[in-house]
Amino acid sequence: MLPGFGGENGHSRFPVPCGGSKINDHIQWLIEQGLTSEHIGDLVAGLCDRLIADGIPIWRASITMPSLHPMYRGVSANFVRGGATVLENAAHGSVEERNFEKTPIFYLLNRGERTGRWILARGEGLDYPQLAEFALAGGTDHLVSLCEFPKEVALRGLGFSLTSDAPGGFSDDQLAIVKALVPALGLAAYRVAASKTATDILAVYTGARTSARILAGETQRGTGGSINAAILIADLRNFTALTEVYQPSEIVGFLNEHFELIDRHVEENSGEILKFMGDSVLAIFPTDAEDPQKACMAALASTKNLLKANEALNRERTKNGGPDIGVDVVLHLGEVFYGNVGARGRLDFTVIGRAVNEASRLEKLCGTLEQHLLMSESFAATCAVACEYLGSFELRGVSKRADVFKLADAVS
C-alpha cells in the first residue's frame, strides 16, 4: 500500500518535545513490544492507550503498511478510542487499493514529505473522503507521519495516522512527542511485519504444515523422516495440447483457476499441497497411526469435491467459448520420506519414496482406463468405501504389478 518514501524532511516543523522521561518510557515500551508482539494491532492500540493516559487527545489512529502477501497489497491496524482495534487487508484490485491516490498518505509520498497535518475544524483536508468522514463525525485534527524502511525489501515503510476530536486538536508539544516516537514505532512495526511476512510467504510457497517445520528449525539437507500418508496426485488432462492453441497468459490463467479449486478442497480436508509440477499437483494427508482410514476419507472427500467443482468451472468457461479441462486424480496410501531434499543452497521440503513413484505411475492409467479417479489397492482397502476392481497393471519402473480400483458406481 505504501510503494515508497522520498524526501528527507516533512513540511511540518515540530518543537523539541517536553517530558523526556515519559518519551523514553514509551520508546522502551515500543522496543519491548517490537520484540514480542505478533501483529501491528498490538502496537497501535497499546501506544494510543499510553498516549491517551498522558493526556494526548487521540480519537482514532492507524498504522498502514505494504504487504508481500500474494493476495493483499497492504494491511492496516485501525484504533478507535474505547473500541476494538481492527486489522484490515487491502486486496489487489480492491476499492481500497484503487482509492489509495485519494489519501493523505499518497499526497505525502507524491511530494516526498514525511509528515502532514490537516486541521479538520478549519475545513482542511476535506477533499480526502476519509478525512471528510472524520470531520463529519466530530474530528478536529489529523496527523500523518511516514517512516521509511531499508530499500532492499518490499516492506518500504509505514504510515502512522492520528486523529483528534478535541476542540483544539493536538498541541505543539503533543505533536513533538509523537514525532519523537515515530522512529521507535517504525522499528517495532518493521520487526513485527518482517516476521509475519516471512511466516506468511513461506506458508504460501511451501504450505502451512511444511512451513511450520521449516521455521521450527528443520532446514538441514537430509533432515526429515518417514511418515505414512494418503497421497493425492491431480493432473489436468490433455493440458499440453492447449499450449498450441492459447497464449501463455491464458494458459497461466487456466492453471490458476484449476489449482485454486484443487487447493481449496485439499485444504478444507486438512491436506496440504507440497508441489505444483507443470500441470500436476502433489498433495498429502498424513495418517494417524491408529486411524489411517481418517486420512483416506479426507483425501477421498477432497477428490470428490474438487472433481465436482471442476465440472462447474468447465461449464462456466465453455459458455464463453473456453476449453473444457478435465482433472485426473490418483489416490494412494503408503510410506514416504518427508523432509529436506536437494542441493546445499537450494532445498525442497517434500515427500519422496516408492509410494510417490507408484502414485505418479498410476496417474498415467487414468486416460487409458477413461477414469477421472483411480485408487491403489492400499488406499481402496483402507478407505472403507465400496470400490470396483479394474484390473492388475504393470507400472513403468515398478517391479510389482498394481491392482487398481475405482469408486463403485453407487458411491461415485
Task: Based on the fold, state whether residues 114 and 182 are members of the same structural domain.
Answer: yes
Q: How many domains does the chain have?
A: 2
**pLDDT of the residue at 100:** 80
CA distances to 73, 102, 296 from 91, rounded to whole Å, are 6, 17, 35
**pLDDT of the residue at 67:** 76
Task: Based on the fold, state whether residues 200 and 241 are members of the same structural domain.
Answer: no
Quick check: is 1 in a domain?
no
- What's the mean pLDDT in 347-374? 93
- Out of 195-209, 252-266, 302-316, 339-353, which region has the weakest mean confidence (pLDDT)? 195-209
Confidence of residue 215 (pLDDT cuts 50, 70, 90): confident
Which pairs from 390-393 meet CB under 8 Å and 24+ separation? 393/365
**pLDDT of the residue at 199:** 85
Confidence of residue 205 (pLDDT cuts 50, 70, 90): confident
**pLDDT of the residue at 375:** 97
Q: What is the tens place of the pLDDT at every residue in 218-274?
A: 889 888 899 999 999 999 998 989 999 999 999 999 999 999 999 999 999 999 999
- What's the mean pLDDT in 392-407? 90
**pLDDT of the residue at 207:** 85
Quick check: is 146 in a domain?
yes
Task: Based on the fold, state whether residues 235 and 319 are members of the same structural domain.
Answer: yes
* CATH code: domain of residue 71: 3.30.450.80
Task: Based on the fold, state whether residues 74 and 114 are members of the same structural domain.
Answer: yes
Confidence of residue 141 (pLDDT cuts 50, 70, 90): very high
Quick check: is 379 in a domain?
yes
Quick check: is 327 in a domain?
yes
**pLDDT of the residue at 2:** 37
Domain of residue 232 covers 221-411
Helix (H, G, I), strand (E, B) or coil at 237: coil
* CATH code: domain of residue 298: 3.30.70.1230
Query: Using CA atoms, how far apart are residues 28 and 211, in angstroms rounded to an integer?
Result: 32
The CA-based angle 60-150-184, given to 5 degrees, is: 45
Quick check: is 2 in a domain?
no
Q: Which residues, at least 6 apart from 338, have a Cβ–Cβ distance to it below 8 Å? A: 224, 225, 226, 227, 229, 284, 286, 350, 351
- Portion of the chain with pLDDT greater than 70, in percent: 92
Confidence of residue 75 (pLDDT cuts 50, 70, 90): confident
Quick check: is 100 in a domain?
yes
Domain end marker among 205, 231, 266: 205
Exposed e or buried b per residue across 26-53, where buried means at least 16 C-beta atoms within 10 angstroms of its C-beta: bbebbeebbeebebbbbbbbbbbebbbe
Quick check: is 119 in a domain?
yes
- What's the mean pLDDT in 195-213? 85
Written as one letter, the residue type at 310 is N
Task: Based on the fold, state whether residues 253 and 358 are members of the same structural domain.
Answer: yes
Task: Based on the fold, state whether residues 260 and 146 are members of the same structural domain.
Answer: no
| Closest among 373, 372, 371, 376 to 393, alpha carbons compared | 376
Quick check: is 393 in a domain?
yes
Task: Based on the fold, state whether residues 267 and 152 are members of the same structural domain.
Answer: no
Which pairs from 35-39 meet CB under 8 Å and 24+ separation? 35/191, 37/188, 37/192, 38/192, 38/196, 39/77, 39/87, 39/192, 39/196
- What's the mean pLDDT in 148-167? 85
Confidence of residue 410 (pLDDT cuts 50, 70, 90): low
Domain end marker among 171, 205, 239: 205
Task: Based on the fold, state whether residues 46 and 172 are members of the same structural domain.
Answer: yes
- Out of 4-13, 21-30, 160-169, which region has the weakest mean confidence (pLDDT)? 4-13
**pLDDT of the residue at 398:** 84
Domain end marker among 143, 171, 205: 205
Query: Using CA atoms, how far apart are residues 33 and 39, in angstroms rounded to an integer?
Result: 10
- What's the mean pLDDT in 361-381? 94
Q: Assess whether pLDDT exceeds 70 at residue 112.
A: yes
Q: Between 209 and 283, whose confidence is greater? A: 283
Task: Based on the fold, state whether residues 147 and 236 are members of the same structural domain.
Answer: no
Task: Based on the fold, state whether residues 168 and 283 are members of the same structural domain.
Answer: no
Give the three cell numbers for residue 331. 489416490
93 backbone dihedrals φ, ψ, rounded to 5°: 80, 5
- Portion of the chain with pLDDT greater than 90, in percent: 67
Task: Based on the fold, state whether residues 335 and 376 are members of the same structural domain.
Answer: yes
- What's the mean pLDDT in 195-207? 84
Task: Based on the fold, state whether residues 169 and 308 are members of the same structural domain.
Answer: no
